[in-house]
């Protein structure tokens, strides 16, 4: 189920090329999400210097876990 949020960035999520691979170094699984590379790097995942980072299911989960503590802070934006 897609998460509804007022964040434009999240709205772009999911528009990924078919067959895109996870950008995390050493992974290479099929990507399910594309996110800002900067955000993914900030979360501590090892992706290259691209603007967009593609994440597989597992790494997207990991990304969400790592950004969990920011969620509360961002919650107010979600209610828009
Ligand atoms: Zn991955």
DSSP string, 40-63: HHHTT----S-SEEEEEHHHHHHH
Distance 15 CA to ligand 1 centre (A): 17
pTM as predicted: 0.66
Backbone angles phi, psi at 32, to 5 degrees: -115, -15
pLDDT tier at 8 (50, 70, 90 boundaries)?
Answer: very low
CA gap 13, 38 in Å, rounded: 15
Distance 27 CA to ligand 1 centre (A): 5
Distance 31 CA to ligand 1 centre (A): 7
What is residue 68's predicted lDDT score, i.e. its pLDDT?
81
The residue that leads in pLDDT, 55 or 9, is: 55
What is residue 19's predicted lDDT score, i.e. its pLDDT?
82
Distance 48 CA to ligand 1 centre (A): 13
């Amino acid at each position: 189920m897609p998460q509804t949020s007022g964040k434009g960035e999240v709205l772009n999520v999911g528009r990924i090329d078919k067959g895109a691979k996870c950008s995390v170094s050493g992974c290479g699984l099929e990507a399910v999400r594309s996110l800002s590379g900067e955000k993914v790097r900030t979360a501590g995942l090892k992706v290259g210097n691209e603007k967009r980072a593609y994440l597989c299911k597992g790494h997207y989960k990991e990304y969400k876990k790592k950004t969990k503590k920011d969620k509360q802070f961002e919650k107010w934006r979600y209610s828009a």
